[in-house]
Chain A
Amino acid sequence: MRLPERTVMRSPWLLGPLGIAVVLLAWSLISLSGAVDPLFLPSPPAVLQAAGDQFRGGILLADAIASIRRVFLGFALSAALALPLGIAMGSNTLICRLLEPLLGLIRYMPAPAFIPLLIIYFGLGELPKVLLIFIGTFFFNTLMIMDAVKFVPRELLETALTLGGRKLPILTRVVAPYIAPQVIDAYRINMASAWNLVIVAELVAANEGLGKRISLAQRFLRTDEIFVGLIVIGLIGLLIDLGFRAVLRRSCRWAS
């Protein structure tokens, strides 16, 4: 919905930071007023202090890298396999009939519910965490790509056929470029689940990572460190999202 032009602020881009500022202000006021025990609600300076400590000690960076690495590995695997499978399902009725019910079913199994199995199978190392991210995103990626393929306009495919195109070149030179914007967007959306899942995996069992840091902080009642973890997780997620948007804008100028 859009309001009439006159009532909209002159610099609407200020609204986002404004929303964040309001929450920060409320947080500061509440913690200054002393109404809430600092054990539950650490003050902004305390959180900043904790962030500084973790950053100087190199822990923050090591944790962030550990988490990002898991997400990257799991998601790269998921994205790389979902693309050909999604295209195959979207363009071939038999493959679609065979696999769609199966994938549709697995998609509704919450990925965290696989953690116990993954631990039994693969122990507590990196592999089960990477696989969790794979399981949590692969089926969504595949089904979203399949849908994008099904909506490629028939005229575009038939034109290619009458121009002398064969099946495989049509998939790579018509279908793939047409669905590129939707694929990038599907990756962007599902990346958010990957980022959520890595934290869940680390809460359960890990030596390092942002999720691990939060669960350690809980054990020692360090709410300030929990806040640091949450804020950093949010910021990294936001950066990844913005990265995907930038890729989309730059590579698919035709679609905007």
Chain B
Amino acid sequence: MHLSVSGVSKTFGDGRHAKLVLDDINLSIDSGEFVALVGSSGSGKSTVMRLIAGLERPSTGVIAMDGKPVRGPGSDRGMVFQKYSLYPWMTAAQNVAFGMSLQGLPRALVRERTAYFLEVVGLQNDSRRLPKELSGGMQQRVAIARALAADPKVVLLDEPFGALDLQIRETMQEFLYELWQRSGITALLITHDLEEALLLAQRVHIMAPSPGRIVRTVEADLDRSNLAHLRMSPPFLELREELVNSLRNLDAAAS
């Protein structure tokens, strides 16, 4: 799998109200990679995600999956939103099964895969609960299981932990990293949290706002055998501080 975003810009509105939201975005992801896109709120991260998902069309440039231009949404690009994306009338299991059922998979297979993915996210005992009976962290795990169960080639995560408390967020980061390691998924993570991006992704694109553009790309080649440890390790903290500073300079230059 090779996903490429080449020379993409996006303008919302037209005439006097036209607003350039993304300017010349270039990035790519290959099978098995974990890539992150970081930037302050309003820098256009979600728009990049929505363009890749096919929910919006680029104004210029091309987004392609394995060389074929993306023309609309499809199950090869799964998506996890920040919140409110579980179907409130479906149980956890029904939510996980929904994509497979939309795709017309045989019932027995749907049941089997649902059980498998609920177990992957550690919710095998909560399969019959409704979303409102689950905590925020559990809800996001269901959303992730649902996206994975639909068998996408790449999972797009738009600030999936942004609405969670700090402590749960750290647990979920470790959960996502383990999941990526174990199941060989390909992930594009969007976040405004630089620590989160550096902790999880091998490659981090840093975006600046007005218009949204990628100002820096970092290959975060770190030892991730113990994430809790990594968070506190000197190389990690140094890298983080250096990037925070360069971002701060950007913001200062912009304002």
A50 lies within 8 A of chain B by Cβ: no
A234 lies within 8 A of chain B by Cβ: no
Contact mask B69-87 → A, CB, 8 Å, 1/0? 0001111011101011101
A residues in contact with B102, CB < 8 Å: 160, 163-166, 169, 173
Say yes or no: B150 contacts A164, CB within 8 Å: yes
Selected contact of A155 from candidates B81, B147, B152, CB within 8 Å: B81
Say yes or no: B130 contacts A158, CB within 8 Å: no
Residues of B within 8 A of A (CB): 53-55, 72-75, 77-79, 81, 83-85, 87-89, 98-99, 102-103, 130, 132, 146-147, 150, 152, 156
Interface SS of chain A:
helix
Say yes or no: B130 contacts A254, CB within 8 Å: yes
Determine the distance from Cα of A158 to Cα of B49 in the docked complex, in whole angstroms. 12
A residues in contact with B89, CB < 8 Å: 177-178, 180, 252, 254-255
Known interface pairs A158-B73, A254-B130. Does A163 touch B55 (Cβ–Cβ under 8 Å)? no
B residues in contact with A160, CB < 8 Å: 98, 102
A161 lies within 8 A of chain B by Cβ: yes
Say yes or no: B53 contacts A162, CB within 8 Å: yes
Say yes or no: B78 contacts A156, CB within 8 Å: no
B residues in contact with A164, CB < 8 Å: 74-75, 99, 102-103, 150
Contact mask A142-161 → B, CB, 8 Å, 1/0? 00000000000101101111
Determine the distance from Cα of A158 to Cα of B82 in the docked complex, in whole angstroms. 13
Selected contact of A162 from candidates B75, B83, B84, B88, CB within 8 Å: B75
Contact mask A172-190 → B, CB, 8 Å, 1/0? 0110011010000000000
A residues in contact with B132, CB < 8 Å: 254
- 204-256 of chain A: CB within 8 A of chain B: 252-255
Say yes or no: B88 contacts A159, CB within 8 Å: no
Known interface pairs A164-B150, A169-B102. Does A153 touch B84 (Cβ–Cβ under 8 Å)? yes
Min C-beta distance of B142 to chain A, whole Å: 12
Give 18 A-B contacts (CB < 8 Å), ordered by A residue.
Answer: A156-B84, A158-B55, A159-B81, A159-B146, A161-B53, A161-B55, A161-B73, A162-B79, A163-B75, A163-B146, A163-B147, A163-B150, A164-B99, A164-B150, A177-B89, A254-B89, A254-B130, A255-B89
Which residue on chain B has the smallest CB distance to residue A158?
B55
Determine the distance from Cα of A255 to Cα of B150 in the docked complex, in whole angstroms. 26
Q: How large is the interface on A (under 10, 10 to 19, 20 to 34, 35 or more residues)?
A: 20 to 34
Determine the distance from Cα of A169 to Cα of B152 in the docked complex, in whole angstroms. 20
Selected contact of B88 from candidates A161, A169, A173, A254, CB within 8 Å: A254
Determine the distance from Cα of A78 to Cα of B132 in the docked complex, in whole angstroms. 34
Determine the distance from Cα of A153 to Cα of B82 in the docked complex, in whole angstroms. 13
Selected contact of B85 from candidates A155, A180, A252, A255, CB within 8 Å: A155
Determine the distance from Cα of A169 to Cα of B3 in the docked complex, in whole angstroms. 28
Determine the distance from Cα of A252 to Cα of B150 in the docked complex, in whole angstroms. 27
Determine the distance from Cα of A177 to Cα of B94 in the docked complex, in whole angstroms. 13
Q: Which 6 A-B pairs have the closest CB atoms?
A: A164-B75, A163-B99, A161-B73, A162-B79, A155-B85, A254-B89
Say yes or no: A162 contacts B78, CB within 8 Å: yes
Min C-beta distance of A247 to chain B, whole Å: 15
Contact mask A30-48 → B, CB, 8 Å, 1/0? 0000000000000000000
Determine the distance from Cα of A254 to Cα of B75 in the docked complex, in whole angstroms. 27
Determine the distance from Cα of A177 to Cα of B98 in the docked complex, in whole angstroms. 13
B residues in contact with A178, CB < 8 Å: 87-89
B residues in contact with A177, CB < 8 Å: 87, 89
Min C-beta distance of A107 to chain B, whole Å: 30
Say yes or no: B85 contacts A159, CB within 8 Å: yes
Selected contact of A174 from candidates B74, B77, B87, B146, CB within 8 Å: B87
Determine the distance from Cα of A252 to Cα of B147 in the docked complex, in whole angstroms. 25
A residues in contact with B73, CB < 8 Å: 158, 161-162
A residues in contact with B103, CB < 8 Å: 163-164
Besides A162-B156, A163-B150, 5 more A-B contacts (Cβ < 8 Å) are: A162-B150, A163-B78, A166-B102, A174-B87, A254-B130
B residues in contact with A161, CB < 8 Å: 53-55, 72-73
A residues in contact with B79, CB < 8 Å: 158-159, 162
Known interface pairs A161-B55, A163-B75. Does A156 touch B85 (Cβ–Cβ under 8 Å)? yes
Determine the distance from Cα of A9 to Cα of B195 in the docked complex, in whole angstroms. 55
Determine the distance from Cα of A178 to Cα of B87 in the docked complex, in whole angstroms. 8
B residues in contact with A254, CB < 8 Å: 88-89, 130, 132
